Amino acid sequence: MIKKLGIAEFFYVFDTLKKESDVDNQQLFSNTDRGLAYGDGFFTTALVRDGNVDLWPLHRNRLVECQQRLGFPELRLDEIEFLVQEQVKDKAEAVLKILITRGEGGRGYQAPETPQLSVSIQVLPFPSYYTTWQQNGIEVALSRVKLGIQPLLAGLKTLNRLEQVLIKQDALTLVCDDVIVTDINDRVIEASAANIIMIKDNTLYTPDLSGSGIKGVFLSALESKHDIRVKNIAFDELKAADGVFICNSLMQLVPVVRIENKHFDIADLHELKRRFLGK
């Protein structure tokens, strides 16, 4: 069953556990939904331009990878895609968020044998400051919050995002636009909500995400077009790069003009982007 809730425009839930008349329009998910209780779910966030979802095949692949690696039942992707297209077709520029939980049920942490998934689809305003970031670049500092290592979840965009919440809180106390985040072994992993591209000696590099971090859709798109080498990167090595960029599906490629006390010329960064990333 597909139900449109009154809580917000462009917000839907797939929920076969309730009858439509039982749904409280002021409450999106049940108090016993496993996404709320345990973060048992995953999501993707995409750019909408001129009525289309940018990089949709890669976002679809991300949802399938999360479903498979987390042991969720097969997704009703055709229905999800239909609803997505219905809600974005009139949008010139917006943000699409698809969030999926394992639904209700189970005993404690133990998931139900036959979960009935909850899926929400929301269209949100585009963060306008990303355009300024793309043009002028950003200043970053080193986050004091370090990521743990968990290969079973590495690369996935799960609902367990408390590390990122703490990272954002820490960033508010620093003089910067964003932060560079390392793991507990002091290896560079990502920005607060973006992947990292480093250019050094005419070669593109990105951090190894086999133990921590999220593999972004935009990074995957870049890897399909460019030779980007995966390696362990130390923070001092990042500062010694010829150029550094952060990227995700919404901001796309953003140049970094300062990493703590190391400054990069914005004109040089735009030239590097043009030469090596075709942007």
Options 44, 101, 190, 273, the catalytic residue: 190
From 90, 111, 126, give the residue that closes a domain: 126
Q: What per-residue confidence (pLDDT) applies to 256?
A: 98
Q: Which of 79, 99, 126 is the last residue of a domain?
A: 126
pLDDT tens per residue, range 59-90: 999 999 999 999 999 999 998 999 899 889 99
11 and 73 both lie in a single domain = yes
Q: Which residue has the tokens 């699409």?
A: 96
Active-site residue, 45 included: yes
**Number of compact structural domains in the chain:** 2
Long-range CB contacts (< 8 A, 24+ apart) of 104-110? Answer: 104/17, 104/30, 104/32, 104/33, 104/34, 105/17, 105/32, 105/34, 106/34, 109/38
**pLDDT of residue 141 exceeding 90:** yes
Which of 157, 182, 215, 273 is an active site residue?
A: 157
Domain end, chosen from 99, 126, 153, is at 126
Q: Is 163 an active-site residue?
A: no
* pLDDT mean over 142-159: 97
pLDDT at 279: 62
Give the span between the Cα atoms of 46 and 238, in whole angstroms. 28
pLDDT for res 29? 74
- pLDDT category of residue 186 using cuts at 50, 70 and 90: very high
- What pLDDT band is residue 152 in, cutting at 50, 70 and 90? very high
CA distance 155 to 277: 22
Q: What is the tens place of the pLDDT at every residue in 196-238?
A: 999 999 999 999 999 999 999 999 999 999 999 999 999 999 9
Residues 148, 120 share a domain:
no
Tens-place pLDDT, residues 112-127: 999 989 888 889 999 9
5 has pLDDT over 60: no
Domain extent, residue 38, equals: 2-126
Of 45, 101, 182, 206, which is the active-site residue? 45
Same domain for 85 and 135: no
What pLDDT is attached to residue 14?
Answer: 52
Strand partners, 53: 48
**pLDDT for position 7:** 34
Q: Is 19 a catalytic residue?
A: no
How far CA 176 is from CA of 142, 215, 261, in Å, comes to 10, 24, 11
Percent of the chain scoring above 90 in pLDDT:
80
